[in-house]
A and B are shown apart, each in its own frame.
Chain A
């Protein structure tokens, strides 16, 4: 191997590799800075986020549903995530619902989004044809994925609550 370098000239090759290494490290730094600047993950505690959201939606913070309801409505196991908070509809004719998930890993986002979409489709089918008000609310749902957080809401104050959600992160 040494012979190959000797033919090309020691100093040239030496400078060449040092230069590449420095350039790569500089590019890596640029990548990391860009990554940090663009990263949307949040270290905010899900309980704090849920409290802010509940306040904006004007629901009782302590009215969050039990974990088994998350499984029943979405087929998701809350233990698979950093946290999941659900404010479920009060009865069968109610569609007001808030679901917040803090992911352990952003790779989980796709499956959670799919579960939410499935839930939405089921609700739409349930009210299609006779629940005009409910269908309108379901159509105006908000689904926001921000870094490691997913926010889903069906309700009149969905827009205002979404803003509170984003501010809480």
Chain B
């Protein structure tokens, strides 16, 4: 089930909210767990069992760890923690990377190992990272083990963020699982976040996605430099508004249910460096890797060489996390290399550059990164990048490019402006303004977003979020 669907908006969500609010607080986590399992089972009737196993194993491990540590058996606790993390990684590795591993083995071995391409359980990368952070945090003594399986199950399976994050750490919602504040203002705030995300997904991401797909369908000989840049720009906007839209909807749904999730995006395309971009893009994943991989590896404490090694490990893994394909690994390493160059070579020089140059530098590198990310193969990525740089293709610009430029100009300009804080900042001010007309305008805009998005959804085919496949 996806948030941006008629069924979710007009049937699932209202029923869930009605039951949730009618129940006394002590039963709310149980309701949340049940509806989350239904939400997941709707699309993954088999893999909901896998998720229940994951919940159960990590729940038991948390209590086991707490017990061992309270009895001073630190070595056994360490062993139990490692075992559970390995079990989590094996589940994730088997379902996500098994086919990739065998495909690559078959490419180098003189014989073929036959295998079945397993379907990827949706959201497995997200909930596995949540459960691993929980077990590690219990071992480190940062959080107490959860003794109520319903509460723990509700945390892992919570439907607003189950499929595509943000990766909510147990430490961030531990108190909220026990006690939450409900109010009309909070609920209204949640509705606004949800509608904002819906509009981003349905009105901007899906339409920019159509432009990108249309450009990608052209052969290399029909793609001019300008067309290639328009296609790349379209994907740049699509992925931001798709994933950012999902995160906004998740935050909004969380607020409607009484939870506060961390923001996952902070206007990443306004960054002045790649380092800053990654502080603003998919924040929950970057901070997860920093806390659970980079710092345990030693971070930058062991000198430059060790820090560079650690950064490359983290960024290789970040790439691999996104998908079992070489282009994702190279995409991660691409960022690893840029971050190292920025950290050790360019940092001071970049700060002296005019702001606009820093913005252009960042956006161009990010856009080339997206080419690596979205291409079906490394060869296709290289050829597309070549076209963007004027190698091959159909010259600098042609009639096709002008057609795309004209037809995408308005939406593209709006998307570019909406990717900065300008519109949101004005809305945030106006929605709280004393003047009635300002508030009325904001409310009217949300209604318009809702109506137009619904109209789009009525005729839409299945159009899942891009990050569902990670």
- The verdict on A111 contacting B57 (CB below 8 Å), with A39-B116, A43-B116, A148-B119 known, is no
Contact B46 A24 (CB under 8 A): no
Contact A105 B468 (CB under 8 A): yes
Identify which of A25, A110, A111 contacts B87 (C-beta below 8 A): A25
Identify which of A20, A35, A77 contacts B60 (C-beta below 8 A): A20
The interface residues of chain B lying within 8 Å CB-to-CB of A17 are 60, 63-64, 67
Q: Counting CB contacts under 8 A, is B464 at the interface? A: yes
B429 vs chain A, min Cβ distance (A): 39
Contact A107 B116 (CB under 8 A): no
Which residue on A lies nearest to B76, using beta carbons? A14
Identify which of B68, B70, B463 contacts A1 (C-beta below 8 A): B70
Question: What 0/1 pattern do residues 16 to 57 of A give for CB contact below 8 A with B?
Answer: 011011001101100110011001011100000000000000
- The verdict on A24 contacting B53 (CB below 8 Å), with A17-B67, A107-B43, A148-B119 known, is yes
Contact B63 A2 (CB under 8 A): no
Q: Counting CB contacts under 8 A, is A67 at the interface? A: yes
- Give B145-185 interface residues, CB cut-off 8 Å to A: 145, 147
The interface residues of chain B lying within 8 Å CB-to-CB of A80 are 461-463
Question: What 0/1 pattern do residues 100 to 113 of A give for CB contact below 8 A with B?
Answer: 00001111101100
Identify which of A21, A31, A77 contacts B213 (C-beta below 8 A): A77
Cα–Cα distance between A18 and B115 once the two chains are bound (Å): 33
The interface residues of chain A lying within 8 Å CB-to-CB of B57 are 21, 24-25, 28
Cα–Cα distance between A108 and B464 once the two chains are bound (Å): 9
A154 vs chain B, min Cβ distance (A): 22
A142 vs chain B, min Cβ distance (A): 23
- Give B58-73 interface residues, CB cut-off 8 Å to A: 60-61, 63-64, 66-68, 70-71
Which residue on B lies nearest to A1, using beta carbons? B66
Contact A5 B64 (CB under 8 A): no
Which residue on B lies nearest to A19, using beta carbons? B60
Cα–Cα distance between A5 and B87 once the two chains are bound (Å): 26
Identify which of B71, B119, B145 contacts A10 (C-beta below 8 A): B71
Which residue on A lies nearest to B46, using beta carbons? A35
B467 vs chain A, min Cβ distance (A): 13
- Give B17-55 interface residues, CB cut-off 8 Å to A: 43-44, 46, 49-50, 53
Contact A43 B61 (CB under 8 A): no
The interface residues of chain B lying within 8 Å CB-to-CB of A72 are none
Q: Counting CB contacts under 8 A, is A61 at the interface? A: no
Contact A24 B469 (CB under 8 A): no
- The verdict on A41 contacting B71 (CB below 8 Å), with A1-B147, A77-B461, A105-B464 known, is no
Contact A105 B99 (CB under 8 A): no
Which among A35, A80, A104 has the highest number of chain B CB atoms within 10 Å?
A35
Cα–Cα distance between A148 and B91 once the two chains are bound (Å): 21
Cα–Cα distance between A24 and B122 once the two chains are bound (Å): 21
Q: Counting CB contacts under 8 A, is B216 at the interface? A: yes
Identify which of B70, B99, B103, B213 contacts A5 (C-beta below 8 A): B70
- The verdict on A28 contacting B91 (CB below 8 Å), with A1-B66, A17-B63, A79-B217 known, is yes
Which residue on A lies nearest to B462, using beta carbons? A111
Which residue on B lies nearest to A20, using beta carbons? B60
Which among B64, B147, B217, B462 has the highest number of chain A CB atoms within 10 Å?
B462
B163 vs chain A, min Cβ distance (A): 11
Cα–Cα distance between A148 and B13 once the two chains are bound (Å): 29
Q: Counting CB contacts under 8 A, is B355 at the interface? A: no
Q: Counting CB contacts under 8 A, is B440 at the interface? A: no
Which residue on B lies nearest to A104, using beta carbons? B469
- The verdict on A21 contacting B119 (CB below 8 Å), with A31-B53, A76-B461, A80-B461 known, is no
Q: Counting CB contacts under 8 A, is A75 at the interface? A: yes
Cα–Cα distance between A152 and B145 once the two chains are bound (Å): 52
- The verdict on A27 contacting B67 (CB below 8 Å), with A41-B118, A43-B116 known, is no
The interface residues of chain A lying within 8 Å CB-to-CB of B213 are 77, 79
- Give B106-152 interface residues, CB cut-off 8 Å to A: 115-120, 122, 144-145, 147
- Give A60-96 interface residues, CB cut-off 8 Å to B: 67, 75-77, 79-80
The interface residues of chain A lying within 8 Å CB-to-CB of B145 are 1
The interface residues of chain A lying within 8 Å CB-to-CB of B461 are 75-77, 80, 111, 115
Q: Counting CB contacts under 8 A, is B346 at the interface? A: no
Cα–Cα distance between A91 and B469 once the two chains are bound (Å): 39
Q: Counting CB contacts under 8 A, is B56 at the interface? A: yes
Cα–Cα distance between A20 and B67 once the two chains are bound (Å): 14
Contact A41 B70 (CB under 8 A): no
Contact B469 A32 (CB under 8 A): no
Beyond A14-B67, A24-B57, A27-B53, 16 additional pairs, beta carbon < 8 A: A1-B66, A1-B144, A1-B145, A1-B147, A2-B70, A13-B67, A21-B60, A28-B91, A31-B50, A39-B118, A42-B116, A75-B461, A76-B461, A80-B462, A105-B464, A148-B119
Which residues of A are interface residues toward B (Cβ below 8 A)? Answer: 1-2, 5, 10, 13-14, 17-18, 20-21, 24-25, 27-28, 31-32, 35-36, 39, 41-43, 67, 75-77, 79-80, 104-108, 110-111, 115, 147-148
**Can you list 16 A-B pairs, Cβ within 8 angstroms, ordered by A?**
A1-B70, A5-B67, A17-B63, A18-B64, A31-B50, A32-B50, A35-B46, A41-B119, A42-B116, A67-B217, A79-B217, A80-B463, A108-B462, A111-B462, A115-B461, A147-B119
What are the 3 A-B residue pairs with the smallest beta carbon separation, nearest first?
Answer: A43-B117, A111-B462, A17-B64
